[in-house]
Amino acid sequence: MTSNQMKGEENARILREYIKRNKTFPMHKGRLNKTKLLADLGIPSARQRPDCAAILKELDKQIAKKKANGELFDSDDGNNTETVKRLRQYINALHQKLALKEAQLDAYRRNEASELLLVKTGKLLPSAFNASQSLLDLKENDQ
């Protein structure tokens, strides 16, 4: 037996064990994502080997049969959890950034109102607005 044959048999064994252990598999547009599955297992180009290709084809048929029977839905894609986590983190970061920008905008509006009052009446309203800080904020936004 050559080393390539041994590697092929080992890859097929790893693939069979993974299928037995797991109930969800990486999906893309409702079909088995073979590339991601093999990459996660660290198996390169296993689809070219007849035994691995047969295993993947059988798994694809099982998934199609489960979908036809109503046992598996498109939302059970298996890789959604990672994507959802990343998207939630991104959304949370955007919410924080938005809150900061709204606070800065509110401070600018208060400063503008204070300046308008100063121009009209000659009276200065005490403000929590720091003019030197606003210049720094403007410089940061320009970059």
Task: Count structural domains, the chain.
Answer: 2
Q: In this structure, are residues 17 and 52 in contact, taking their beta carbons and an 8 Å threshold?
A: no
The residue range of the domain holding 127 is 81-142
Beta carbons within 8 Å of 134's beta carbon, 6+ residues apart: 107, 108, 111
Q: In this structure, are residues 76 and 70 in contact, taking their beta carbons and an 8 Å threshold?
A: no
Q: What is the pLDDT along the chain (143 residues), one digit of tens a residue?
A: 567 788 888 888 888 898 888 878 888 777 888 888 888 888 876 556 788 888 888 888 888 888 877 776 555 445 567 778 888 999 999 999 999 999 999 999 888 888 888 888 877 666 555 555 555 555 555 55
Q: In this structure, are residues 111 and 134 in contact, taking their beta carbons and an 8 Å threshold?
A: yes
Task: Specify the pTM.
Answer: 0.46
Q: Could you say which of 39, 69, 99 is where a domain stops?
A: 69
Residues 133 and 93 in one domain: yes
Task: Quote the DSSP letter at residue 74.
Answer: T
* Domain contains 74: no
* Domain contains 28: yes
Q: Report how far apart, in Å, the C-alpha atoms of 45 and of each of 42, 77, 78, 79 are.
A: 10, 23, 22, 21
* Domain contains 137: yes
Q: Could you say which of 13, 48, 69 is where a domain stops?
A: 69
Query: Could you give the angle at the alpha carbon of 124 between the alpha carbons of 120 and 125, nearest 5°?
Result: 110
131 vs 66: CA distance, rounded Å: 65
